[in-house]
Amino acid sequence: MEQATVRPGGMTMKGEIRLRRGVDHVLGQVKDILDDVDDERLEEALSALEHAQRVFLYGAGRSGLVARAFAIRLMHLGYQTFVIGETITAPVAKGDVVLLISGSGETYPVVMTAEIAKNIGATVVSITHNQKTGIAALSDIVLALPAKRPGPEQEQLAPLGTLFESATWILLDGFVADLMVRTGQTEVAMRKRHATLE
């Protein structure tokens, strides 16, 4: 029986190969997903954010972590930014932008948030798997990020919502680069808004 070679730190040769396969799979799939995002929808989302006075973000689970990461960058860009569900969140008002992240698009609290924001008159932007989800139906702008090759390889190398969450994170980091230009921000200016008590 073949034995795996143990490397420093306890990682086996087989484990290292699987790790690299996983990284290559995620990177390749995320690029394919993002290459297919509709340019018109991207421009609509960027324009809404560019002119927003206040931006509210929400997602459940790992999607919520992605939303929080983008909220930090928006704050660095000078936006008044809130994460829905936090104790210091202001009430959503007409004219605000509400950005929702949900792979399934059917997570009840996210759908409920979309409905409330829509009724208030906020601009609802959703990032989800496809155009036929519950939050998509309630959104003004939908960015669809469908996984390309579902199957055994994806289940082994990028289980559950890994590709959606990774693609969303990279997409929103791309938004930051674009919004820096649109709003005239520099890294120097953003650094001045970076947290000093960490």
Quick: pLDDT tens for 80-139.
999 998 888 888 999 999 999 998 888 889 999 999 999 999 999 999 988 888 999 999
- Report the C-alpha dihedral over residues 15, 31, 170, 17, rounded to 10 degrees: 10
Instruction: Provide the residue range defining the domain that includes 149.
Output: 13-192
**Assigned domain for 132 exists:** yes
Sheet of 97-101: strands edge to edge? 80-83, 54-59, 97-101, 123-128, 141-144
Of 158, 156, 164, 157, give the one whose Cα is nearest residue 130.
164
**Assigned domain for 34 exists:** yes
* Single-letter code of the amino acid located at 112: M
Which pLDDT value is given to residue 2?
42
Cα within 13 Å of Cα(198), Cβ side: 3
Whether residue 1 has pLDDT greater than 50: no
Whether 78 and 191 have beta carbons less than 8 Å apart is answered as no
**Assigned domain for 2 exists:** no
CATH of the domain at 162: 3.40.50.10490
Q: What is the DSSP letter of 151?
A: S
**Assigned domain for 184 exists:** yes
Which pLDDT value is given to residue 33?
84
**Assigned domain for 143 exists:** yes
**Assigned domain for 198 exists:** no
The pTM of this model reads: 0.83
Total of domains in the chain: 1
**Assigned domain for 96 exists:** yes
**Assigned domain for 8 exists:** no
